[in-house]
Amino acid sequence: EAQVTQNPRYLITVTGKKLTVTCSQNMNHEYMSWYRQDPGLGLRQIYYSMNVEVTDKGDVPEGYKVSRKEKRNFPLILESPSPNQTSLYFCASSLSPGAGAPGELFFGEGSRLTVL
């Protein structure tokens, strides 16, 4: 089954304790991206990757890191989480924008993070 898998789905942590949210897709997609969803603010892009070893900042990259060492994985790293990073996070993937595909995104089920 084609899917994007995120882990953990729920996490409560404390300020400053490094954490990683994993994301994996099995559709051989070149493009992957991270979003955060906050009430009243919609969906905001954090980082994206057009292919392996290629990453770029989205609209709200501060406080986050990503890496793309393999095509299927795109982890989101919070080196020193703060309460304003409490949010619902989504990973998404799609075929390469340059492949003629219209850029339809496939989303994971979300990871709800609470930073105390």
Partner 1 sequence: GDSVTQMEGPVTLSEEAFLTINCTYTATGYPSLFWYVQYPGEGLQLLLKATKADDKGSNKGFEATYRKETTSFHLEKGSVQVSDSAVYFCALKNTNAGKSTFGDGTTLTVKP
From residue 28 to residue 57, what is the string marking binding to partner 1 with x (rule CB under 8 A)?
---x-x-x----xxxx-x--x-x-----x-
Select 79 or 109, whichever has its Cβ closest to partner 1.
109
User: Considering beta carbons, is residue 72 or 107 the nearer one to partner 1?
Assistant: 107
The token pair at 102 is: 């219209």
Give the interface segment with partner 1, choosing from 15-23, 67-75, 78-86, 104-112 (CB under 8 A).
104-112
Residue 61 in contact with partner 1, rule: CB under 8 A: no
DSSP per position, 44-113: EEEEEEEETTEEEE-S--TT-EE--SSSSB--EEESS--GGG-EEEEEEEES-GGGT-----EE---EEE
Task: Please give the distance of CA 80 from its chain centroid, rounded to a whole number.
Answer: 17
Positions in the binding site for partner 1 (CB under 8 A): 4, 31, 33, 35, 40-43, 45, 48, 50, 56, 58-59, 90, 92, 97-98, 102-110
